[in-house]
Amino acid sequence: MKLSRLVSSLFLFVLCASFSTAQESKPTAALLAGKLIDVRTGAVRTHAYILLTGDKILSIGDSAPAGVPVTDLSSYTVLPGLIDAHGHVLSDPTSQSAANGLKTSNPQATLWGAYNLRLWLDHGFTAVRDACEGPSDYPQFALRYSVNRGLIQGPRISAAGSCISLTGGHGDGFPFSPDFPSADKTNIADTVDEIARVVRRDIKYGADWIKLMATGGVMDPISDYHVQELSEEQMAKAVEVAHRAGKKVMAHAEGAVGIKAAVRAGVDSIEHGTMLDEEGAKLMEERGTWLVPTLYCFQHDMETGLSKGRDADSYAKGVEIIAAQGPAFKLALAHHLKIAYGVDDDDVDESVSREFGALVAGGMSNLGAIQAATINAATMLGKDKQFGSVEPGRFADIIAVNGDPLSDITVMYQVPFVMKGGQIIKDPAHPDRNPVAHIH
Q: How many CB atoms lie within 10 A of CB 67?
A: 6
Residue scoring higher pLDDT (156 or 347): 156
Helix pair 106-122, 139-148: axis angle to 10 deg: 50
Query: What strands, in cross-sheet order, belong to the sheet with 156-164?
Result: 82-87, 125-130, 156-164, 209-213, 248-253, 269-272, 290-292
pLDDT of residue 302: 73
> Does position 11 have pLDDT exceeding 50, yes or no?
no
- Cα dihedral 46, 49, 50, 53 in deg (nearest 10): 180
Helix (H, G, I), strand (E, B) or coil at 271: strand
pLDDT of residue 435: 66
CB contact at 8 A, 232 and 265: yes
At 284, which amino acid appears? M
> Does position 7 have pLDDT exceeding 70, yes or no?
no
Using DSSP bridges, classify how beta strands 209-213 and 248-253 pair: parallel, antiparallel or unpaired.
Answer: parallel
**pLDDT tens-digit series, residues 34-84:** 999 999 999 999 999 999 999 999 999 999 999 999 999 999 999 999 999
Q: Please choose, from the candidates 382, 370, 427, 362, the residue with its C-alpha nearest in 3D space to the C-alpha of residue 121.
A: 427
CB contact at 8 A, 133 and 188: no
Cα 82 → chain centroid: 9
Report the distance separating Cα 160 and Cα 164, nearest Å.
10
Burial of 50 (0-12, 13-18, 19+ CB in 10 A): buried
CB contact at 8 A, 325 and 298: yes
> Does position 101 have pLDDT exceeding 80, yes or no?
no
How many CA atoms within 13 Å lie on the side-chain side of 377? 35
pLDDT of residue 308: 66
Report the distance separating Cα 62 and Cα 41, nearest Å.
20
Report the distance separating Cα 98 and Cα 365, nearest Å.
36
Report the distance separating Cα 54 and Cα 21, nearest Å.
12
Cα separation values, 93 from 47, 103, 345, 386, Å: 40, 14, 8, 31
pLDDT of residue 374: 98
CB contact at 8 A, 77 and 401: yes
pLDDT of residue 160: 98
Cα 85 → chain centroid: 2
Report the distance separating Cα 147 and Cα 153, nearest Å.
6
> Does position 312 have pLDDT exceeding 90, yes or no?
no
> Does position 403 have pLDDT exceeding 70, yes or no?
yes
Mean pLDDT of the chain, nearest integer: 90
pLDDT of residue 220: 79
pLDDT of residue 339: 98
Going along the chain from its start, the domains and CATH numbers come out as: 25-80+389-426 (2.30.40.10), 82-380 (3.20.20.140)
**pLDDT tens-digit series, residues 181-195:** 566 689 999 999 999
Q: What kind and span of H or E run contains 19? A: helix 2-24
Q: Please choose, from the candidates 407, 437, 422, 399, the residue with its C-alpha nearest in 3D space to the C-alpha of residue 123.
A: 399
At 51, which amino acid appears? L
Cα separation values, 10 from 121, 214, 408, Å: 45, 57, 57
Q: How many CB atoms lie within 10 A of CB 107?
A: 10
Burial of 283 (0-12, 13-18, 19+ CB in 10 A): middle
Report, in this order, helix, strand and coil percent for the chain, each rounded to 5.
35, 20, 40
CB contact at 8 A, 229 and 165: yes
Report the distance separating Cα 367 and Cα 364, nearest Å.
8
CB contact at 8 A, 25 and 58: yes
**pLDDT tens-digit series, residues 110-160:** 999 999 999 999 999 999 999 999 999 999 999 999 999 999 999 999 999
pLDDT of residue 211: 98
62-76, 87-101, 339-353, 354-368: least confidently modelled range: 87-101
Using DSSP bridges, classify how beta strands 44-53 and 56-61 pair: parallel, antiparallel or unpaired.
Answer: antiparallel
pLDDT band with cut points at 50, 70 and 90 for residue 12: very low
Q: Please choose, from the candidates 269, 324, 271, the residue with its C-alpha nearest in 3D space to the C-alpha of residue 299.
A: 324
For the residues 259-280, what does the mean pLDDT come to? 98
Report the distance separating Cα 328 and Cα 350, nearest Å.
25
Burial of 55 (0-12, 13-18, 19+ CB in 10 A): middle
Report the distance separating Cα 377 and Cα 325, nearest Å.
21
pLDDT of residue 407: 98
Report the distance separating Cα 353 and Cα 412, nearest Å.
7
Residue scoring higher pLDDT (391 or 98): 391
Q: Please choose, from the candidates 328, 189, 192, the residue with its C-alpha nearest in 3D space to the C-alpha of residue 255.
A: 328
CB contact at 8 A, 297 and 350: no
CB contact at 8 A, 54 and 97: no
